[in-house]
Amino acid sequence: MALSSGGAGVIHRTAKDEAGDTEQASKNYDDARWMSWPNEGAFDALEEQYDSVHLQTKGSIPSWAAGSLFRTGPGHSMVENTSRGTHHVSHWFDGFAVTHRFDIVPPDSPGQGCSVVYSSRGQSDRYIAKVKEHGWRTGISFGQKSDPCVGIFAKFMSLFLPQEINNNVVVIPNMPGLNTKPTQQTGHRAEVDNVYISTDNSRLQKIDPETLEPLGPASQQELHPALKGPLSCAHVQRDPVTGDLFNFNVTMGRYASYRIFRVNAKSGTTDILATISEQELPAAYIHSFFLTENYVVLCVPSTHLGWNGAKILWERNILDAIKPFDKTTLCKWLVVDRRHGRGVVARFSTPAAFFFHSVNAFEQKSKDEAGEEITDICLDHVEYLNSDVMHILYYDILMGKNEAAILDMQKTGKQKASQPKLVRYKFTLPAHSQTKKGDYSLTAEQAFAIPSPHAGELPTINPSRAGQRHKYVYSICNRGIGFWMDAIVKTDVETREALIWSGPVGHTPGEPIFVPRPGGTDEDDGVILTVVLDSSSRTSYFLCLDAKTLQELGRAEADFTIPLALHGAHVTLGQKPML
């Protein structure tokens, strides 16, 4: 039953976008979004850490959604009382990591809804201590601006200081290979053997599933000695049947080497599925990749790193090490066999673009003109015209403090180039394996491109459809009434219709997480869980929506701010997750 209080959300049903025009935003999407900004509570943990806070529940969260929702993301954006005064974090992706846990507790009596218990923990205490000691960040960041008061010699010497990690992007519960010994848990909390936090490098942060306390770093090289490169992918992929985990590791040199690997969930052993090192495939910033029933598909987008990756050491951050965007630099794709040890079976290219997040990928069989069976690989992701979106995520812009930068974005059109599109490419596998190094002459067909706000960012689907054809994608979008994402959109990729939930002005939802109803047969039979920031009252609430209608079922309110996280994972009570 939907809530009827004044704080309940509003549902908007939109017609399909104008013929899927890939160059034009929807009619209700204009520059008005740049007139208002969320307050700093959206991006900074302004409150002290809380432990085991019982949130005030309204409505009814279904009992089958019981379990634990982990979320992680940037927290504090400044460090006070350092040896050089206050240290200000420049880029949102560099905010010091905080992990959140929402325990969804089943009711004592049938027919009642769940309650919600919240806890959180900072993950960068050691890093913050280093900043206080030295007065600046000594490690590699995503986009930290250089401190003009810090000399070249000091920056050079920081290369030799111990490098602390600030993993704040993805939560990986029950990761195989690094720790298979179960953690004892009791009471209402979901079963979790271990939890790791990742970002776009090969080092992981292990945390205690119960207390969220940081337990120290781990390295992909512990999985396999060949995985010694510094770069990797924040978003791992899992086989939805076996639980095997897939990722890639990048070493840098004259040519970059991409090693695509699998961690066996049952044995904990790691296999290298393919090693690709060729002049046409430089080191690049890559945030996610694709997994189908039989293949791992890696896209190297047009965000190449200078000096084949070595420029990161000079700039001390990834963003400044990325080459200026070049429209002639094609995206290059690799299709790797994950079943029969054949390595790379095909290469192809698509027009220059950038993307953070893959959505899903699947294979479909058909017949060619000669009646022979062919396999098409469909690859859904959230695409951008260029890499400008990474540059609008500086705190000064997010919080509306840098008027000059905001005016520059409006004048140069960067904000329009930073609007996402939900794009599907369809690639037909050649009849015989096409494995010639450096040959990316094959291309893929763009099946559709759905612009914002009919689709958005931080996408998710029903996890039971992973690797299979899907109909619905859930994401966060902007309807054009504020700077930041202000709504949750359910996109029908077959009809291109969209259903949008939005709260009152100033309510900012985070990534939607889909929890399927046990026994449900419809793809959208389940609930959407998210955390919403109310910037006017500086409070947050845990929100549960019906995944079919986006009507609100229940919420659990906090009387404090929970900063916007990046990604999360739901672990059902009594069941291990398949991400």
* Dist. CA 577–CA 204, nearest whole Å: 19
Residue 245 CB neighbours (<10 A): 22
Residue 371: Cβ-neighbour burial (10 angstroms; 0-12, 13-18, 19+): exposed
Helix (H, G, I), strand (E, B) or coil at 42: helix
Please compute Rg for the chain using Cα positions: 23
Cα 562 to Cα 28, 44, 99, 208: the distances in Å are: 30, 8, 11, 20
Phi, psi of 415 (to 5 degrees): -65, -35
Is 287 marked as a binding-site residue? yes
Cα 380 to Cα 26, 359, 363, 399, 419: the distances in Å are: 20, 5, 12, 31, 16
* Dist. CA 190–CA 573, nearest whole Å: 4
Cis-peptide into 453, omega within 30 deg: yes
Is 567 marked as a binding-site residue? yes
* Dist. CA 203–CA 181, nearest whole Å: 20
Residue 499: Cβ-neighbour burial (10 angstroms; 0-12, 13-18, 19+): buried
Is 235 marked as a binding-site residue? yes
Phi, psi of 406 (to 5 degrees): -65, -45
The owner of tokens 């992973």 is 466
Q: 507-509 and 513-516: which strand pairing?
A: unpaired
Give the contacts of 542 (CB within 8 A, at least 6 positions apart): 55, 69, 102, 116, 118, 529, 530, 531, 555, 556, 557, 558
- Closest-CA residue to 215 (of 248, 261, 181): 181
Is 357 marked as a binding-site residue? yes
Give the contacts of 267 (CB within 8 A, at least 6 positions apart): none
Residue 568's H or E segment, with its range, is strand 567-572
Residue 416's H or E segment, with its range, is helix 414-417
* Dist. CA 165–CA 140, nearest whole Å: 9
Q: Which residues are annotated as a binding site for Fe cation?
A: 235, 287, 357, 567
Binding site: which residues? 235, 287, 357, 567
